[in-house]
Amino acid sequence: MKAVVKEKAAPGARLMDVDVPEPGPRDVLIKVKAAAICGTDIHIMEWTPFAQARIKPPMIFGHECSGEVVKVGDQVKNIAVGDLIAVETHIPDETCFMCRTGLQHICEKMAIVGVHVDGVFAEYAKIPAVCCWKLSKDTKPDLGAILEPWGGAVNGIL
């Protein structure tokens, strides 16, 4: 598959052929339908101090997207092949105090799609099922791709 890869610790990125990832038991594999570019992605491209402190090349970046589920891990129960999903970028560890008290969005050991694990600037992406929000079949993929930043904005003003 084609993917945008931060190949080395320097400015830039490359469009490369890489293997399609295989989902783990608690992951889904999606065919990316739409992806948005975030300020984080610009930091990664420009190789700013922010990126240098977090990114371990080579890796696929990008984290705001929607996609169609094409494969599910054997422990995934709430998502099925064919579902359209939006990706929640923050991967909670599900064990810390914050996660156990329903505050996964401020997980003490949080990882981020496209920063700490391979991201969504690719034809296919492996996403933890906990990070998938099911969308109705008639949702435009472009809208699904911006739900994560939209949610952050709404949360900030409420």
The DSSP call for residue 20 is: P
pLDDT tens for each residue of 44-90 = 999 999 999 999 999 999 999 999 999 999 999 999 999 999 999 99
pLDDT value for 157: 85
What CATH code would you report for 23-40+63-157?
3.90.180.10
H-helix or E-strand containing 60?
Answer: strand 59-60
pLDDT digits (tens, 9 = 90+) for 92-126: 999 999 999 999 889 999 999 999 999 999 999 99
With beta carbons less than 8 A apart as the criterion, state whether 30 and 127 touch. yes
Numbers of helices and strands, H then E, in the chain? 5, 10
Whether the model clears a pTM of 0.75, i.e. scores above it, the answer is yes
pLDDT at 148: 83
pLDDT at 150: 81
Question: Which H helix or E strand runs over 28?
Answer: strand 27-36
Active site residue 40: yes
**89 catalytic residue (yes or no):** no
Say if residues 93 and 109 touch (Cβ distance below 8 Å): yes
Q: In whole angstroms, give the CA distance from residue 23 to residue 53.
A: 27
* Whether residue 155 has pLDDT greater than 80: no
What's residue 130's pLDDT? 96
CB hemisphere CA count around 78 (13 angstroms): 10
How is the chain split into domains, by residue range? Answer: 23-40+63-157
- Which residue among 43, 63, 89, 90 is the active-site one? 43
